[in-house]
Amino acid sequence: MKNPASPVAVELLSKELAHELEEQRGLFILRLHSAFLQLGESLQLFRELWQDDGAIAYQVAAEQGWNPPPTKWLRFRRSVFEGGFWQDVAETLAQRGGTSQTAQSAQPGEWCWWKEPLSGMPSVTGIKLLPGRHRGAVQHSFIHGAFGKHETYSAALQEQRAAILALPTLLASGDRAAIAHFRERVLSALWPDLAAGLRDTQHQHIIEELLNEQDSMLTWLAYMELAFDAIPPSVYAYIAGTGGSTLMLELRLLLPLLLLDTGSSAADAASELQQRLECCLGDEEEFQPPDQAIADLTTLLLQFRRAANEVHEIGALLADGRADELDLPRPARSTLAARMAAIRADKSCRECGSTEHSTPLLTVGTVNYE
């Protein structure tokens, strides 16, 4: 319906669209919240070990995880824990949003790995390294990231880590010039296919609507940041051995791009990463205890991909509303840090709003209200 003449019709259609937008927002929030809680539960073992001693937890995870059969790297290196790197990342995450967030929480959904004391961590633990023992560790090597790239790619990711860690803030503030700069200067060098995919993404107007609206992208990004806070670095070491830091940076680079790409480039890459993880996980009956956490991390990746599509649908609805000159309420603007704090503070069920119970943990595919 283009330019409805009657004010009553405009009001009615505006209300209808506002309702539809609320439902769509609720859908992706429920999806992400549920997957986030699930991951928090299964990370318990990793969390406890990290709290005891992060450097040792990292080293042990690298040994016992998915390092591929030619695990010679373990015989040649005394340590795989890059203390300086993780200290740097911890400081960056602590400063995110400019607020001081120092108190650690005992609640699984609020615990942050970087709030554990890292200053005393030696870069070399001195513990004897052993080759990996994990059965399913053969299909893929994640040592240079999940995509079988090379050492130069890992080095370039490390070099660009400040820009990669800052990417969510660029999206949250809708800084189009900085986003374009990141795409052309940083992403083009690291991952040219993805940069090209983003440049040619079909529905740029949807991205524009979402950057204007802010709220939907902000919530999605807040869940992403909460997940990265909840995942101790030893999880990446379990998957990637010496490539733990590369894998973390790769995930942090790829995930926000899902929001910026309405085409398939970023989604295909995220899907491939998910499949590689699933492939190494093997049969559920043979899971080692840490594998359940990796399985739930895989589910979370899938749900971020689906939720990004739902956010794009919100953008399409907003674009329709604009074309029809409807009068939509604008959510108040906020910051990433404030949104993360609000999600942590809100103990209600994301499905029904009750404060008597928390959000149910849903299995993949069950969040479908079509």
Shortest Cβ distance from residue 353 to Zn ion (Å)? 7
How many residues of this chain interact with Zn ion, rule: CB under 5 A? Answer: 4
Nearer to Zn ion, 208 or 351 (CB): 351
Contact letters for Zn ion, residues 72-111 (x by CB under 5 A)? ----------------------------------------
Contact letters for Zn ion, residues 335-354 (x by CB under 5 A)? --------------x-xx-x
Shortest Cβ distance from residue 354 to Zn ion (Å)? 5
Nearer to Zn ion, 38 or 67 (CB): 38
Rounded Cα gap, residues 234 and 223, in angstroms:
20
Shortest Cβ distance from residue 352 to Zn ion (Å)? 3
Nearer to Zn ion, 204 or 354 (CB): 354
Shortest Cβ distance from residue 314 to Zn ion (Å)? 23
Rounded Cα gap, residues 226 and 205, in angstroms:
28
Shortest Cβ distance from residue 296 to Zn ion (Å)? 21
Nearer to Zn ion, 105 or 354 (CB): 354
Shortest Cβ distance from residue 358 to Zn ion (Å)? 8
End-to-end CA distance of the chain: 23
Nearer to Zn ion, 323 or 352 (CB): 352
Contacts of 5 (CB under 8 A, 6+ apart): none
Shortest Cβ distance from residue 105 to Zn ion (Å)? 23
Task: Find the binding residues for Zn ion in span 8-37 (CB under 5 A).
Answer: none
Shortest Cβ distance from residue 346 to Zn ion (Å)? 13
Residue with tokens 């050492």: 151
**CA 281 remoteness from chain centre:** 20
Nearer to Zn ion, 356 or 370 (CB): 356
Nearer to Zn ion, 302 or 349 (CB): 349
Task: Find the binding residues for Zn ion in span 183-222 (CB under 5 A).
Answer: none
Contact (CB, 8 A) for 222 and 255: no
Contact (CB, 8 A) for 253 and 165: no
Nearer to Zn ion, 77 or 357 (CB): 357
Nearer to Zn ion, 328 or 349 (CB): 349
Shortest Cβ distance from residue 110 to Zn ion (Å)? 20
Q: Closest CB to Zn ion belongs to which residue?
A: 349
Contact letters for Zn ion, residues 297-336 (x by CB under 5 A)? ----------------------------------------
Q: Which residues bind Zn ion (CB under 5 A)?
A: 349, 351-352, 354
